[in-house]
Structure 1
Amino acid sequence: MEINFLAVIVAGLSTMVIGSVWYNEKVFGAAWMRETGMTKEKAKGANLLKIFGLSILFAIMIAFVMQFMVIHQFGAMGMVGGDIEAAKPSYEAFMADYGHSYRTFKHGVLHGAMVGVFMGLPIVGTNALYEMKSGKYILINSGYWIICFAVMGGIICAWK
């Protein structure tokens, strides 16, 4: 089982597309700005190269790990210690029979959404609680990550 770096990069970049819609003023952008105290004037002073560059890097890092959560076959590879050359013939037979099982966009979306709900939401929520942010803030930001994880999972799982 090889890592598909192109799928990882595309999945990571998908967060930028989702974010451009999610945080648009006509969707959740205006509410997000109110909840964070962000103003248009403050946003104009932002270092966009730093923000977008690091956002893409972080998203690609997430996508890299996401493949191990949405592609079941990586679990089988882990059972042989990642050393496919030393694996027994039963491993090759197993992969021949099940190497592409559950490798669909829909299945990846399911697992990605689960990661978003059970990892993304608690992380965003915990930070928001200590930052004294509102429930609306938690829903806007964790909702974004749940959608992102679902799409990333779908892309990575389906791209063989």
Structure 2
Amino acid sequence: MGDINLLAVLLGSVAFFLIGAVWYGPLFGKTWMGLTGVNEETVKQPGRNPTWLIMLLCFLFEMLVVTMLGHSVARSSGQPHIVMMMAVGFAATIMAPAIGINYLYQMKPGKLFAIDAGYFIVGMAAAGGVFILMG
């Protein structure tokens, strides 16, 4: 039972965030925008949060999640398969179902759930990979 590896938390958060840039950019950006109704005009409407603030808050939320992963890794054996099981397990059994519950009540399409839940699973796998690489 060791201390949280803060460098792994920071780099894991960066990996998670960068996955999001690719995920919501070239991979699924157009589809996601169509499903959410977000476009260049809606982003620029008065009263909307500026993009830099949204990105900063997303990064901080991701860092909070990765910090919890770091805490769990510090309390475990740290074996790679255990780390990846925790990272993907958090996303697949906690984060994705939480999104799913919200989307069910908001009557959002299943395709949007698949995009957003998939991002959390892949992003957490990337964060887990950073923890594995950092030992």
Query: Is TM more than 0.5 here?
Result: yes
Deviation at 1:128, TM superposition (A): 0.8
Alignment partner, residue 36 of structure 1: 36
Aligned counterparts of 1:122 and 1:141: Cα–Cα separation in 2 = 11
1:68-107 equivalent positions in 2, closer than 5 A: 68-69=71-72, 71=73, 74-75=75-76, 102=79, 104=80, 107=82
Alignment partner, residue 20 of structure 2: 19
Aligned counterparts of 2:16 and 2:119: Cα–Cα separation in 1 = 9
Deviation at 1:155, TM superposition (A): 1.2
1:126 corresponds to 2:101? yes
Number of equivalences: 131
Which residue among 125, 130, 133 is the counterpart of 1:155? 130
Task: Give the TM-score, by structure 1 length.
Answer: 0.73
Alignment partner, residue 90 of structure 1: none
Q: 1 or 2 for the larger relative contact order (CA 8 Å, sep ≥6)?
A: 2
Task: Give the TM-score, by structure 2 length.
Answer: 0.86
In structure 2, list runs of 5 or more residues that go unmatched. none
What secondary structure does 1:38 align onto? coil
Aligned counterparts of 1:156 and 1:127: Cα–Cα separation in 2 = 30
- Runs of 4+ aligned residues of structure 1 deviating over 3 Å after TM superposition are none
Deviation at 1:44, TM superposition (A): 3.9
1:140 corresponds to 2:118? no
Deviation at 1:14, TM superposition (A): 1.4
Is 1:111–1:150's contact at 8 Å kept on the other side of the alignment? Answer: no
Deviation at 1:49, TM superposition (A): 2.2
Look up the equivalent residue of 1:150 and give its one-letter code. Answer: A
Aligned counterparts of 1:110 and 1:150: Cα–Cα separation in 2 = 9
Deviation at 1:123, TM superposition (A): 0.8
Is 2:69–2:86's contact at 8 Å kept on the other side of the alignment? Answer: no
Is 1:108–1:150's contact at 8 Å kept on the other side of the alignment? Answer: no
Deviation at 1:107, TM superposition (A): 4.6
Alignment partner, residue 6 of structure 1: 7
* Percent of pairs with identical residues: 29
Alignment partner, residue 108 of structure 1: 83
In structure 1, list runs of 5 or more residues that go unmatched. 76-98
Aligned counterparts of 1:39 and 1:49: Cα–Cα separation in 2 = 16
CA RMSD of aligned residues (A): 1.9
Aligned counterparts of 1:107 and 1:155: Cα–Cα separation in 2 = 13
1:48 corresponds to 2:23? no
What secondary structure does 2:28 align onto? helix
Look up the equivalent residue of 2:61 and give its one-letter code. Answer: F
Aligned counterparts of 1:10 and 1:139: Cα–Cα separation in 2 = 26
